Amino acid sequence: MEGKDWMELAGQKNQLAKVMEGNRYGERFGLRLTEEEAKLLMQERARCLKEQHRVEFGESILPKLMQAFCDSDYIRGEDYAEVLGRLQEIFYLFKNESMDLLTDDELLAFMREQYDETCFGELDYLEGTCLPLFADAVRAGYRGYQQTGGKGEFEQFDIVQRWDKDLYLQALANQMD
C-alpha cells in the first residue's frame, strides 16, 4: 500500500513539474499559472477523467493545451487558469464524443482554430456548436481531418455558413438572369 501511495505521489509531482514547465510557452504572452492554479487544474483533470470514464496514461493533456492556446488573442492572464480548465474539460468530453477517432493533436488543432476563428474565444459556442458538429461527422465516418491534421474543417460542417453561401450563390445567379 505504501508503495502505491509513493508511486502516485511521484506521478503527481512529475505532472506538476510538466505543467509548470508549460509556463514557458505562455510567459511570452503574459500568461503564467501559479503552482496553486496548476494543482487545481490537475485536480480538475482527475475529476474530468473520472466523469468521462477515461484513463490517461503518461503526460496530461494540459501542457499541450497550454502550448496550443497560449498565443490566442482571447485569453488574458487573469482568466488563463479558468480557460485552461474549461478547455481541458471540453477536450476530454470530445475525445469521447469522437469515439477516440481523433488524435490528441487533431482535436487540439480543430479546437484552437475554432476557438479563435469561429467562436472568437467563446467556450460555450466551441462546446455547444463547433465540436458537436465535427464529432457527429467523425462518428458518421468522415476522415478528411486526417489529411488536414484537424485544420480548416469546420467550414464543411457549419450549416449556417453553407446556407449563407448557397443564398449568396443563388442571389448572384438571379442577378445574372
Which residue, among 75, 83, 88, 11, has the nearest Cα to 44 in the 3D structure?
88
- Concatenated DSSP letters of 10-37: HHHHHHHHHHHHTHHHHGGGT----HHH
Q: What pLDDT is recorded for position 22?
A: 87
Per-residue pLDDT tens for 71-112?
999 999 999 999 999 999 999 999 999 999 999 999 999 999
Q: Give the HSE-up count for residue 136: Cα atoms under 13 Å, Cβ half-sphere.
A: 12
Q: What pLDDT is recorded for position 168?
A: 44
pTM above 0.75, yes or no: yes
Coil, strand or helix at 77: helix
Coil, strand or helix at 4: helix
* Residue keyed to cell 468521462: 52
Helix count and strand count (H, E) for the chain: 10, 0
